[in-house]
Amino acid sequence: MSERKFELNIVSDQPNPAVGRREICFEVHHEQSSTPTRLEVKEKLAAKLNADPSTLIIEKMVTKVNSWKTVGTAYLYDSAERAKLFTPKHILRKEFPEEAKAEEKAGEGEAEKAEKGGEEG
């Protein structure tokens, strides 16, 4: 698969010391191509900010109707633990899909054990 070409611009970068993060608004210009994936935007934004991708959370990405422009919000946390503490679970599942699948499998195993334990009693 060929790499999609797009230009990423940071519109604003505000520190939020109370939460321990930077709040970043960005624009993505993707002329004559589909909207880039969250992962593609996250990699490019992390490179631009010289940041660890595990501490960067893409909160929202919205493509404007009939245009080649996507606007979004991202949070760059001080640590990965802080990111997981403040980010809603549905967004964490989008940001870290492999971890979400592992947790799902672990949850299924625990549910089966609980069902078997309930049948024995």
User: Which CATH number goes with the domain that contains 79?
Assistant: 3.30.70.330
Instruction: Write the pLDDT tens digit of every residue in 46-83.
Output: 999 999 999 999 999 999 888 899 999 999 999 999 99
| Residue of 32 and 62 predicted with greater confidence | 62
Kindly state whether residues 66 and 117 are assigned to the same domain.
no
pLDDT at residue 106 is higher than 80: no
Kindly state whether residues 117 and 73 are assigned to the same domain.
no
| Residue of 93 and 75 predicted with greater confidence | 75
User: Closest by alpha carbon to 70, among 3, 11, 121?
Assistant: 11
- Single pTM value for the model: 0.79
Assign 3-class secondary structure to the chain: CCCCCCEEEEEEEEEECCCCEEEEEEEEECCCCCCCCHHHHHHHHHHHHCCCHHHEEEEEEEECCCCCEEEEEEEEECCHHHHHHHCCHHHHHHHCHHHHHHHHHHHHHHHHHHHHHHHHC
Kindly state whether residues 103 and 49 are assigned to the same domain.
no
Kindly state whether residues 60 and 1 are assigned to the same domain.
yes
Kindly state whether residues 38 and 76 are assigned to the same domain.
yes
pLDDT at residue 114 is higher than 60: no
Angle at 94 between CA 8 and CA 23, to 5 degrees: 50
